[in-house]
A and B are shown apart, each in its own frame.
Chain A
Amino acid sequence: MNAAAETAPRTWRSGELAIVLLLPIALINAIGFILPVLNLARYSFNQSTAGGGIADVFTWENWTGLLRDPFYLELIFNSVWISLAITLTTLVVSYPIALYLHRSTGSWKTFLTVLVISPLLTSAVVRTYGWIALLTDNGPVLSFLRYVGLPAPSLMFNIKGVFIGLTEILMPYMILALMAGFGRLDPRVEEAARTLGATPSRTFWKIILPLTLPGIALGCLLCFVLAVSSFITPKLMGGGRVFLLATEIYDQAIVTLNWPLASTLSILVLIVFGAALWAYSVVLRRLD
Chain B
Amino acid sequence: MEIHKTSWPMRVLVLVLFLYLLAPVILVFPISFSGDQVLQFPPSFWSTRWYTALFQNTVMLKAFWTSLTLAVVVTILSIVIAVPAAWTMTRTSFFGKEFLFNLFTAPLLLPTIVLGLAILIVFASFGLLATMQGLVLAHLVVTLPYALRVLAVSLGTQDRACEEAARTLGAKPLTVFFRVTLPMLTPGIVAASALCFLVSFDEVVITLFLTGPRISTLPVELYNYVFNQADPLVAAASVLLILLTLGVIMIVERAMGLGKAFVK
Taking CB atoms, residues of chain A closer than 8 Å to B155 are: none
Among A126, A228, A236, contact of B111 (Cβ-Cβ < 8 Å): A228
Q: In the assembled complex, how far is the CB of residue A1 from the closest CB belonging to chain B, in whole angstroms?
A: 8
Taking CB atoms, residues of chain B closer than 8 Å to A22 are: 84-85, 88, 100
Among A40, A121, A273, contact of B118 (Cβ-Cβ < 8 Å): A40
- Complexed CA–CA distance, A35 and B233 (Å): 40
**Which interface class (under 10, 10 to 19, 20 to 34, 35 or more) fits B?**
35 or more
Among A100, A122, A168, contact of B245 (Cβ-Cβ < 8 Å): A122
Taking CB atoms, residues of chain B closer than 8 Å to A35 are: 122
Among B27, B31, B112, B263, contact of A180 (Cβ-Cβ < 8 Å): B263
- Complexed CA–CA distance, A227 and B125 (Å): 30
Question: Are B23 and A13 within 8 A (Cβ)?
Answer: no
Question: Are A168 and B87 within 8 A (Cβ)?
Answer: no
- Give a binary string over A217-248; 1 marks a CB under 8 Å from any B CB, 0 the rest: 00000000110111110011000000000100
Taking CB atoms, residues of chain B closer than 8 Å to A266 are: 113-114, 117-118
- Complexed CA–CA distance, A17 and B235 (Å): 50
Taking CB atoms, residues of chain A closer than 8 Å to B208 are: 250, 254
**Does B202 sit at the interface, judged by CB under 8 A?**
yes
Q: In the assembled complex, how far is the CB of residue A234 from the closest CB belonging to chain B, in whole angstroms?
A: 11
**Does A210 sit at the interface, judged by CB under 8 A?**
no
- Complexed CA–CA distance, A26 and B89 (Å): 13
**Does B94 sit at the interface, judged by CB under 8 A?**
yes
Taking CB atoms, residues of chain A closer than 8 Å to B104 are: 25-26, 29
- Complexed CA–CA distance, A127 and B20 (Å): 12
Question: Are B113 and A100 within 8 A (Cβ)?
Answer: no
Among B112, B227, B235, contact of A229 (Cβ-Cβ < 8 Å): B112
Question: Are A229 and B138 within 8 A (Cβ)?
Answer: no
- Complexed CA–CA distance, A250 and B223 (Å): 14
Residue of A at shortest CB range from B226? Answer: A129
Question: Are A126 and B23 within 8 A (Cβ)?
Answer: no
**Does A9 sit at the interface, judged by CB under 8 A?**
yes
B residues bordering A, Cβ < 8 Å? 1-3, 5-7, 10-11, 13-14, 17-18, 20-25, 27-28, 31, 39-42, 80-82, 84-85, 87-88, 91-95, 100, 103-104, 106-107, 109-115, 117-122, 137-138, 140-141, 144, 148, 172-174, 198, 202, 204-205, 208-209, 219, 222-223, 226-227, 234-235, 238, 241-242, 245-246, 248-249, 253, 258-259, 262-264
